[in-house]
Amino acid sequence: MAFSLPDTSNLPRYVAIAGEERIEQGSGITWDHIYPANGQVTSQLKLAGAAEVDLAVKAARAALPGWRALTGEQRRNLLLKVADLIEQKTKDLAALDTLGNGYPSMISPYTPMVMAQRFRYYAGWADKVRGETLDAWNGPAHNYVNYEPYGVIGAIIPWNGPLFAAAMVLAPALAAGNCVVIKAPELAPYSVMRLAELFEEAGFPAGVVNMVCGGPDVGEAIVASSGVDKVQFVGSGNTAKKVLQTASQTLKPCGLELGGKSAVIVFEDANLQDAAKRGMSGAVSVSGQGCVNGTRLLVQRSIYDQFLAMIQAMASHVPLGDPLQPTTVMGPLISAQSQQRVEDIIAKAKEQGARLLCGGDRPEGDFADGFYMPLTIFADVDPSSDLFQHEVFGPVLSITPFDTEEEAIALANDSDYGLGAYVHTQNLRRAHHVASKMEAGTVQVNASGEGMQPYAPFGGYKQSGYGRLGGEQGLLEFLQVKSVWMNLKPVE
C-alpha cells in the first residue's frame, strides 16, 4: 500500500502575483503536480505564461521608484517583518515543501529557520549600503562612488531547495533596493507560492516582490524581458547555457549558481567515525539532490578498508521512509524521470567496474508507487568513470582511494565543477594547505554543511557558475557601481 497523500486542503491559490493582481488561472499549460512519495496528483495548476511575466515585470517597474526612495531603515524593518512571518509560518511552509518535493518532515522545518536568519542578516545591510570618496589626483576635483540597485531582478530558482534558494536571492536583492520577479518551480511550487503572499502581509508595497509559477517558457520570458535588469539563476548547467543565450540578446548580466560534484577528502589522521557519517550525508541529505552535497569521497589508502567497513555499516541504518513520518531520514527523488536517470547511472557504474557496497535496486512494496532509490555506495571508482566525473543528483556515493596529499588534491580538482569541497583531517597545516589548493568556491574542514551561513559568500568555480550569494559579496551582486567626478577648478 502506497504512502498516503499529505493534507492538500490549504494549498496556495495564486499561480501569479503581479503588483496588486492575484491570478489563479494563468495563460500557460495545465500542470499536474505529482507527490513524489506515492505518484499521486496533489492538484492541477493552470500555470503562468508569458502574459503573467509581462504583468509582473510591469508591476515591478512601477513599484521601483517608490521602493528605491524608501530609506534603508524602512527596508530593514520590512525585511525583519518578513523574517518574523516566516518563523510564524514554519509549520505551513515546511508542510508545503514536503508536499512539493517529498522532503522528510524531519528536516523540512529547518529551511524556514535558516531563511529567517538570511532575511535578518540582509535586513542589517539595508541601511548600510555605502559609497566611498576617492582621492582626485588630477586637479581640484571631488570624486565619489555610489552603489545603486540594478532595478528589477529576475530570479529563477530550482525545485530541490525552493525556499532556501528564494531567500538567498530575495533577501540581498531587496535589501539593495531592487524589485524582484521570482519564478516558482513547477515541480515543487507550493512553498514559494505561499512565501510570495507573506510580503504583502508584512507590508511591502505592491509590485516589489512578484511571483510567477511556470515551466521553462516562463523562465525564458523572464530572461528575455527588456524590463528585467539582471537575472539570478540557480539550477543546472544545461539550463544556464540557455539562460545565457537568451540574456546575450540584451547583454543582460546574470549571476549563476549551478551544479557540483563536490569532493570529500578523508585523510588517515581524520576522526573516521565523524568523517564516515558526514561523508555519507552527501547522498542521504535530501536524497542526494543538493548541488553542494559531497558525493565523491576520496579516502587515504592506509585507512581505506576500515573506512569502507564503517560507512557500509552506517548505511544499513539509513532506511527509506514515508516523508510524513517524523523518523524518516531519506525520502523519494523528485520524479519518475529522475528515478530512471539514477537507475541508469547505477547500471553504468557497474558496467565500468565500480564495486557496489550497498543499495542499487529500486525498492518495492510501499515504495513502488513513489520515486524512491536507496542509499547506494560504490567503492573502487575509477577517476575516469562517469560516476566519478558527473553529477548524479541522487543518493549515490562514489569512493576512490588515494596515497598522498598531492594525489588527493589532484583527484579532487579533476572535475568540471567547483562548487564545494570537504576535507577531514586533524592536521591544521594540512587543512589550510589543502583548502588553498581546492578549486571550489566553498571548502569545509571537518564539516558537512555548517559553512553555508548567511554571512559567508557562496558560489562556484568553473562550471559551477559565477557570482556569489551570501555575505557582503552577495549584497554587492545586486548593486551597480557609479563613479561621479566633479570638477572644482574655477571657471576662467
Confidence class of residue 21 from pLDDT cuts 50, 70 and 90? very high
Confidence class of residue 451 from pLDDT cuts 50, 70 and 90? confident
Catalytic residue among 220, 291, 391, 477: 291
What does R_g of the chain's alpha carbons equal in angstroms?
Answer: 24
Three cell numbers at 182? 521570482
Q: Which pLDDT value is given to residue 442? A: 97
Burial of 82 (0-12, 13-18, 19+ CB in 10 A): buried
CA distance 109 to 166: 16
Percent of the chain exceeding pLDDT 90 equals 96
Q: Which pLDDT value is given to residue 405? A: 98
Which of 437, 75, 40 has the alpha carbon at shortest distance from 263? 437
What secondary structure letter does DSSP report for 480? E
Tens digits of residue pLDDT in 411-439: 999 999 999 999 999 999 999 999 999 99
Which ranges constitute the DSSP H helices of 89-178? 90-101, 110-126, 162-175
Tell the residue number behind the cell numbers 540557455, with chain if given.
242
Three cell numbers at 405? 596529499
Spacing of C-alpha 469 from chain mean position: 10
Three cell numbers at 164? 532556501
Catalytic residue among 197, 220, 257, 391: 257
pLDDT surpasses 60 at 149? yes
Percent of the chain exceeding pLDDT 70 equals 100
At residue 301, the 3 state secondary structure works out as helix
CA distance 120 to 71: 17
Q: Which domains does the chain show, CATH number per domain?
A: 16-258+467-481 (3.40.605.10), 262-453 (3.40.309.10)
Region for 293 from its dihedrals, namely left if φ exceeds 0, alpha if ψ lies in -120 to 50, beta otherwise: beta
Q: Which pLDDT value is given to residue 194? A: 98
Which ranges constitute the DSSP H helices of 232-290? 237-247, 272-284
Which of 246, 193, 183 has the alpha carbon at shortest distance from 218? 183
Confidence class of residue 490 from pLDDT cuts 50, 70 and 90? confident
Confidence class of residue 2 from pLDDT cuts 50, 70 and 90? confident
CA distance 335 to 358: 22
Q: Which pLDDT value is given to residue 1? A: 55
Rounded to two decimals, the pTM is 0.96
Burial of 244 (0-12, 13-18, 19+ CB in 10 A): middle
Which of 403, 404, 355 has the alpha carbon at shortest distance from 376? 355
Confidence class of residue 491 from pLDDT cuts 50, 70 and 90? confident
Tens digits of residue pLDDT in 182-222: 999 999 999 999 999 999 999 999 999 999 999 999 999 99
pLDDT surpasses 90 at 463? yes
**Residue 106 near residue 204 (C-beta atoms within 8 A):** no
Please state the φ and ψ torsions of residue 137, each to the nearest 5 degrees. -85, -15
CA distance 367 to 45: 26
pLDDT surpasses 70 at 40? yes
Q: Which pLDDT value is given to residue 245? A: 98
Tens digits of residue pLDDT in 92-144: 999 999 999 999 999 999 999 999 999 999 999 999 999 999 999 888 999 99
Q: Which pLDDT value is given to residue 492? A: 73
Q: How far is residue 241 from each of residues 189, 318, 402, measured CA to CA in Å?
A: 23, 36, 34
Instruction: Give mean pLDDT, residues 292-311.
Output: 98
Three cell numbers at 99? 508536499
Confidence class of residue 31 from pLDDT cuts 50, 70 and 90? very high
Which ranges constitute the DSSP H helices of 352-470? 386-389, 405-413, 428-437
Q: Is 291 annotated as catalytic?
A: yes
